[in-house]
Amino acid sequence: MSENNNRPIRVALLGAGTVGSQTARLLVEQSDELASRIGRPMELVGVAVLDPSSVTDPWIERSLLTTDAAELASRADIVIELIGGIEPARTFLLTAIESGASVVTANKALLAKHGPELYEAAARQGVDIYFEAAVGGAIPIVRPLRESLVGDKVLSVMGIVNGTTNYILDEMTTKGIGFDEALRDAQAKGFAEADPTADIEGHDAAAKAAIMALLAFHTDVRIDDVPVEGIAHITAGDIAAASAEHKVIKLLAVVEQTDAGISARVYPALLDETHPLATVHGSFNAVFVKAEAADDLMFYGRGAGGAPTASAVVGDVVTEARHIAQHSLGPVIPIYANLPKAPLNASKAAFAVRFLIHDRPGVLTAIAKEFSDREISINGVNQDIKPTQHDPGYSGEVQQLRIVTHLCDEITLRDAVKAVSQLDAVTGDASIIRVLN
């Protein structure tokens, strides 16, 4: 779009939900302050929503509301997409880009699936795309990976990037309650959705892992490249066993460059209580970056919520508005490395595995044999002396058996767990948690 230095920079907002509402508030209430920082005024020219009658925010003028998101996106300098999901968000952003508008989004699901397509379209049209709020809410992690560390070599990124799961695990740890009770509490306090599947199954964190991996290693990594495990199987017994060993369980997104290629994973892990990520409580997020020259860096803050996330969104809007005012562009997102994706068995880890077993002679020997046959060395064994549940058709006690292995590859470990689970004396589902040192 041709620019007049005296004309306000036109901003369109798609979506007026929790984050969208707070974004509009910041843009309207801080308009004079933001104009001073940019060097030109900004004007909110429209807010696209499905049902204008549902918008009651006093800072959003009724005249700005529209249901035609595509039309609005075509007449703005900056388009903010906060509707979420894949479609029609993808189409709206491509429409905006093709119209010459730069875009700001918090849509992790879209970027994790179609990010490279959007980055290429923006570069081709000579506009910018910013998405700080897509990974860590208010935490500035995208910009450091995209800009601050471009002169360095990132070795790994590991973080707690989902506030819902961190809140649940923290409540289980500090209050000694079970998963279901902690989830209900999280929902009651607004930390978890009515349908928490994307959070507790790890899909939300996996989308963020894909985005971080692409930025860190300049390789096309999508959400389908990210193996994921959630936390629904974590029990109060797992938490108690971790606490007894001075460890905590956290759901981690881990991306790293190995000799076998790029690995991006999401899984619950046992961390020593002295690890920086072990002290992240409640719904807070934290990301730990290791770089070759900069060494260890940690980013901490609120990973969700309307106002914190809106802060990151508006930060991107101001950055882009400055570029427009100065007739410049931000850095493109280079995807040049084309590094291979590391297979599951490329790296080794220690694992804590929990089985439910019938309390009778020979069970431990039979389980140990399955591990030994696969050359998996056992580091420790703990058997709960209290019954954990009853198994239909079995009159004796059902106990918890916890085995901690030495380093082994995951495929072999899971094969052993599958074999053990098929033993007559083993019931229920096994739990597998990595042990990170």
Which amino acid, one-letter code, is at 27? L
pLDDT at 275: 92
pLDDT at 192: 87
Task: Characterize 294-326 residue by residue with b for buried, 16 or more Cβ atoms within 10 angstroms of its Cβ, and e for exposed.
Answer: eeebebbbbbbbbbbbbbbbbbbbbbbbbbbbe
18 is in an annotated binding site: yes
Contacts of 107 (CB under 8 A, 6+ apart): 81, 82, 83, 84, 85, 89, 131, 134
Lowest mean pLDDT, pick from 32-41, 42-51, 338-347, 402-411: 338-347
pLDDT at 434: 96
Q: Find the helix packing angle between 306-325 and 31-38, rounded to 10°.
A: 40
Task: Give the phi and the psi of residue 223 in degrees, each rounded to 5.
Answer: -60, -30
pLDDT in tens, 226-265: 999 999 999 998 999 899 889 999 999 999 999 999 999 9
Q: Using a pLDDT cut of 70, give the percent of the chain over it.
A: 96
Query: What's the pTM?
Result: 0.92
Mean local confidence (pLDDT), 26-53 = 96
356 is in an annotated binding site: no
Q: Name the helix (H) or strand (E) containing 272.
A: strand 261-272
pLDDT at 1: 43
pLDDT at 2: 43
Token reading at 35: 């104009």
Does 3 or 203 have the greater pLDDT score? 203
pLDDT at 392: 62
SS3 119: helix
Residue 132 has pLDDT above 90, yes or no: yes
Contacts of 308 (CB under 8 A, 6+ apart): 137, 138, 301, 302
Lowest mean pLDDT, pick from 133-147, 291-305, 383-397: 383-397
Q: 418 catalytic, yes or no?
A: no
pLDDT in tens, 323-351: 999 999 999 999 999 999 999 888 889 99
pLDDT in tens, 265-297: 999 999 999 998 999 999 999 999 999 999 999
15 is in an annotated binding site: yes
pLDDT at 385: 45
- Picking from 329, 309, 320, 335, the residue whose alpha carbon sits closest to that of residue 104 is 320
**In angstroms, how far is the first alpha carbon of the chain from the final one?**
52
- Domains of the chain (ranges; CATH) run 9-137+306-325 (3.40.50.720), 152-302 (3.30.360.10), 344-436 (3.30.70.260)
Q: Using a pLDDT cut of 90, give the percent of the chain over it.
A: 84
292 is in an annotated binding site: no
Residue of 208, 290, 341, 348 with catalytic role: 208
Mean local confidence (pLDDT), 160-167 = 95
Mean local confidence (pLDDT), 64-82 = 95
Pairing status of strand 247-258 against strand 261-272: antiparallel
pLDDT in tens, 299-324: 999 887 889 999 999 999 999 999 99
Residue 400 has pLDDT above 90, yes or no: no
Residue 382 burial (CB < 10 Å; 0-12/13-18/19+)?
A: middle
The Cα 399–Cα 190 span in angstroms is: 36
Token reading at 198: 């994307």
21 is in an annotated binding site: yes
Residue 390 has pLDDT above 80, yes or no: no
17 is in an annotated binding site: yes
330 is in an annotated binding site: no
108 is in an annotated binding site: yes
193 is in an annotated binding site: yes
Residue 429 has pLDDT above 90, yes or no: no
Residue 386 has pLDDT above 70, yes or no: no
Lowest mean pLDDT, pick from 2-6, 145-149, 203-207, 370-374: 2-6
The Cα 28–Cα 34 span in angstroms is: 10
